[in-house]
Amino acid sequence: DSGVTQTPKHLITATGQRVTLRCSPRSGDLSVYWYQQSLDQGLQFLIQYYNGEERAKGNILERFSAQQFPDLHSELNLSSLELGDSALYFCASSVAFGFSGNTIYFGEGSWLTVV
Amino acid sequence: GQQVMQIPQYQHVQEGEDFTTYCNSSTTLSNIQWYKQRPGGHPVFLIQLVKSGEVKKQKRLTFQFGEAKKNSSLHITATQTTDVGTYFCAGPSSGGSNYKLTFGKGTLLTVNP
């Protein structure tokens, strides 16, 4: 158990819909990262927050947005869903936002299936 | 942008054989991290290498960081069925306050008992 909690574990929704994925980081971790994993694209970095502020953006679509709340949990909002958005979405957390000596811990992921 | 390439994409071995996966970055890395993801699981941090030419061992696993800090390798001696999974390398990119970890596509290791 990494200490990173993600909900829901599985989600099936229709095209055009909107979903919210939730993440609670490990106790004491200030950084939260979101990654998308699909068979063809591998692990793709989406976005990172540190102590409530956006710190880095990766290949995140405009239809997707995220935020980190004062209690440090984070939500990833996916809207106008398309079939190609079906993937495993991971949240990860770390103490700091630099990567030297900074291990990141992954949650178990949220499986999203768009039908 | 930064690219991290891993080869091979797949490797199937007989139990007891050795296994090596290689990672190459398009840019010099400040450090490189390795993760293992079991089938149906999530990536789990294995190790971080920071120094040029660094070699670290974890039981049967040996990790190396190249002299130019642009490549790395993971070698497993005498594989066991518990080694099955996808091994990812990941390199950070940073610029100002922008930090992100770029993962290679991973090497899927299967072990025949």
- Encode pLDDT of A10-50 as tens digits: 999 999 999 999 999 999 999 999 999 998 778 999 999 99
- pLDDT of B100: 75
B26 or A110, greater pLDDT: A110
Q: Is B14 exposed, middle or buried (0-12, 13-18, 19+ CB in 10 A)?
A: exposed
| A window 46-105, beta carbon within 8 A of B | 48, 55-58, 90, 92, 97-101, 103-105
Which 3 state secondary structure label does DSSP give B21?
strand
- Which of the residues A49, A97, A99, A108 would you substitute to probe the B interface, choosing the one with the greatest number of B C-beta atoms within 10 Å? A99
Q: What is the pLDDT of residue A91?
A: 97
Give every CB contact of residue A42 below 8 A, 6+ residues apart in sequence: B88, B103, B104, B105, B106
The mean-pLDDT minimum among A2-16, A70-84, B27-41, B87-101 falls in B87-101
The tokens for B106 are 């991973």
Mean pLDDT of chain B: 92
The residue count for chain A: 115
**Is it the case that residue A98 has pLDDT exceeding 70?**
no
Tell me what the mean pLDDT of segment B60-74 comes to: 97
